[in-house]
Structure 1
Amino acid sequence: MPRVLIPLAPGCEELEAVTLIDLLRRAELEVVTAALEPGPVTCSRGTVLVADVDLDEVAEDDFDLVVLPGGQPGATNLERDTRIHDLLARQAAADRWSAAICAAPAVLASTGLLDGRSATSFPGAVDAARYPEITLLEQPVVIDGKVVTSRGPGTAMDFALQLIELLLDAEQRAAVEAKLMRPGA
């Protein structure tokens, strides 16, 4: 079963974090949530999450996917953490999936994972002038190579479902989506 790491930084966007955790677990993926700091994580709107582990406990482990929730100051906290940069570099070197939503694609940009790629993010999160080698799109979800990016809280379900399809298959995605009772699904 594919393993997924979701690092939880103080100030992360709770809608994105919880949607990712919930939908990926509904698909029966092994999801590990890891706090950047010991103790509960207070999200951008005051919701408190308790991670499965501290990041130090799994920072050297291999994962099929590392996915970064956005929000502020969560994305900034992820970007400042050298362990996150090391994890992302190892993902790329091993040709494994990396993903980010909302403000978190800026972390992928600062790590160099978006160089020469198309991506999306919350408007303005990735500075086009600072990163002219990135083609910024306004699509809900963008896949380029082994990197997946998404726009924000409103695209969190589409993002999570796309990750399920990439890690498993379209049938698993459809099975999870059918139980969500989404309009038009």
Structure 2
Amino acid sequence: MARSVLLVLAEGFEEVEAVAPIDILRRAGVDVTVASVEGAVVKGAHGIAVQADAELADVEGRDFDMIVLPGGIPGANNLAASQLLSETLKRQRREGRAIAAICASPAVVLYPLGLLEGQKASCYPTFQQDMAEENRTGDRVTVGDKLITAAGPGVALEFGLALAEYLAGREKADELAKGMLVR
């Protein structure tokens, strides 16, 4: 059975941080469900509209191997404002399944919920001060205990490949990286 991912979008998301992981994970054979916190079509920070597979409320209670959050402003703020997403993320952590976030989302969404406790995380540099010093790495991508985080749009491919490695194995991630001319 294919591994499953829920990637959650909110208005103002950073497009490359969503689309690159979706593309890479689907190439890896991962079943990716793109859900919006609200509405069928979600407009990104740079005006690109993405059709969601479902609204978050429609997949509430379903189990996913990983939940992925792109960043962007105001996208990360809009993700953080979703009570349903907050509860979904807490349940995901409580049940021992993975969470991944990039750019502002580690600091704006995960940190306030206590989901970085005991973990190291990457985030967009201007948001590092919003996390405790013991949580910050300053790295492009950080892989922790069922937590993968990344710094921002310029590392979206690396982030996607780290997710693919976690879900489909190193060999598959290396194969994808080679085929996509990433490494």
Q: TM-score, normalised by structure 1?
A: 0.94
How big is the shift at 1:126?
4.1
Secondary structure of 1:125's aligned partner: helix
Tell me what 1:180 maps to: 180
Cα distance between partner residues in 2 of 1:125 and 1:21:
24
Cα distance between partner residues in 2 of 1:63 and 1:113:
17
Cα distance between partner residues in 2 of 1:148 and 1:70:
13
Cα distance between partner residues in 1 of 2:149 and 2:139:
9
Tell me what 2:114 maps to: 112
Cα distance between partner residues in 2 of 1:133 and 1:88:
22
Structure 2 counterpart of 1:29, which letter?
A: V
How big is the shift at 1:133?
6.3
The change in CA–CA distance for 1:92 and 1:133 in structure 2 (over 3 A counts) is farther
Secondary structure of 1:148's aligned partner: strand
Structure 2 counterpart of 1:161, which letter?
A: L
| Native 8 Å contact 1:102 1:151 kept in 2 | yes
How big is the shift at 1:35?
1.1
The change in CA–CA distance for 1:126 and 1:61 in structure 2 (over 3 A counts) is farther
How big is the shift at 1:174?
1.2
CA-to-partner distance for each residue in 1:75-98, whole Å, 9 max, x for gaps?
000001011111111111111100
Structure 2 counterpart of 1:142, which letter?
A: T
Structure 2 counterpart of 1:46, which letter?
A: G
Percent identity over the alignment is 39
Structure 2 counterpart of 1:45, which letter?
A: H
The change in CA–CA distance for 1:4 and 1:180 in structure 2 (over 3 A counts) is same
Q: TM-score, normalised by structure 2?
A: 0.95
- The answer to which structure has the higher helix fraction is 2
Tell me what 2:71 maps to: 70
CA RMSD across the alignment: 1.2
Structure 1 counterpart of 2:181, which letter?
A: M
> How many pairs are equivalent?
181
| Native 8 Å contact 1:14 1:44 kept in 2 | yes
Cα distance between partner residues in 1 of 2:94 and 2:169:
24
Structure 1 stretches lacking a partner, 5+ long: none
Cα distance between partner residues in 1 of 2:22 and 2:132:
32
Structure 2 stretches lacking a partner, 5+ long: none
How big is the shift at 1:125?
1.9
| Native 8 Å contact 2:56 2:85 kept in 1 | no
Correspondences of 1:21-100 after superposition (within 5 Å): 21-100=22-101
Structure 2 counterpart of 1:154, which letter?
A: G
Secondary structure of 1:10's aligned partner: coil
